[in-house]
């Protein structure tokens, strides 16, 4: 399993794209699709027209907006450039079907694409994409907004992506004994903000869950002004890496 960070920042970070992750197993899967991550996806050299599954953690714009550009490009490629594109499955928390149906019906050229689009909302159940097992779990982020994290298992290795999350039991359970956890490190521990983890809490989750390796990501600009790695390390003794765009980790 390979994980490539397409975006380690937030909406208006000056040097980092917003949230997006490329996971390569027997499948090529995207986790979230925030602004400027499409350009980083192109830089990886991976065939974007081969992506069949996109998993959304929630629908804040910093996790979603490049999907609009990506989908428009996919339609043009398949309709006007003679390209073949496999069917596309879009998966997310409660609200996914309502939102994406509205987008498909409303945006110019989005309706009746020349490939099948399937919309799915996750339940508590794990599901398979080919030989890759995906376990979704609700996390606590913003009131009245469904948000999930994802656990991805393939060939005996496990990675977890928190999406955006506060400290919560659900997140610790999702991360249990994972080889690698990518956690929302929006803020430094000394300048915590609402509705996200700070660096110290990332370390705490990693320790309580017994993860093998912690990747800090989703930085607001203020998180880059402090040593978030050291802050996480005060609560977690395992390996910690600070995420950056286009960093690839092999499990
Ligand atoms: Zn969010
Ligand atoms: Zn976010």
Instruction: Tell me which CATH code domain 2-250 carries.
Output: 3.60.15.10
**d(C-alpha 33, C-alpha 62), whole Å:** 8
pLDDT score of 124 more than 90: no
Ligand 1: centre distance to CA 141 (Å): 7
CA of 218 to the centre of ligand 2 (A): 7
Residue carrying structure tokens 């110019």: 108
Ranges of each domain in the chain: 2-250
Spacing, Cα 37 to ligand 2 middle (Å):
13
CA end-to-end span of the chain, whole Å? Answer: 5
Mean pLDDT of the chain: 97
Section 210-239 average pLDDT: 98
Confidence band of 157 (pLDDT split at 50, 70, 90): very high
Ligand 1 centre to CA of 30 (Å) is 17
Ligand that comes closest to the CA of residue 34: 2
CA 114/CA 103 separation, integer angstroms: 16
For the stretch 55-98, pLDDT in tens is 999 999 999 999 999 999 999 999 989 899 999 999 999 999 99
């Amino acid at each position: 399993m390979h994980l490539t960070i397409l975006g380690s920042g937030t909406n208006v970070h000056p040097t980092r794209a917003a949230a997006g992750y490329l996971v390569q197993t027997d499948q090529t899967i995207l986790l979230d699709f925030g602004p400027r991550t499409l350009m980083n996806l192109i830089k990886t050299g991976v065939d974007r027209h081969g992506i069949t599954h996109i998993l959304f953690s929630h629908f804040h714009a910093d996790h979603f907006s490049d999907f609009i550009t990506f989908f428009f490009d996919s339609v043009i490629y398949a309709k006007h450039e003679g390209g073949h594109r496999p069917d596309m499955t879009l998966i997310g928390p409660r609200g996914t079907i309502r939102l994406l149906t509205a987008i498909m019906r409303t945006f110019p050229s989005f309706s009746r694409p020349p490939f099948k689009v399937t919309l799915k909302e996750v339940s508590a159940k794990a599901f398979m994409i080919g030989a890759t097992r995906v376990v979704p779990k609700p996390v606590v982020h913003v009131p009245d907004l469904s948000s999930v994290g994802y656990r991805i298992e393939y060939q005996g290795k496990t990675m977890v992506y928190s999406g955006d999350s506060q400290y919560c039991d659900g997140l610790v359970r999702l991360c249990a004994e994972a080889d690698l956890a990518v956690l929302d490190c929006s803020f430094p521990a000394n300048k915590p903000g609402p509705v996200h983890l700070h660096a110290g809490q990332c370390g705490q989750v990693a320790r309580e869950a017994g993860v093998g390796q912690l990747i800090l990501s989703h930085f607001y600009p203020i998180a880059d002004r402090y040593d978030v790695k050291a802050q996480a390390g005060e609560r977690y003794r395992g390996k910690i890496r600070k995420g950056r765009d286009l960093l690839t980790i092999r499990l």
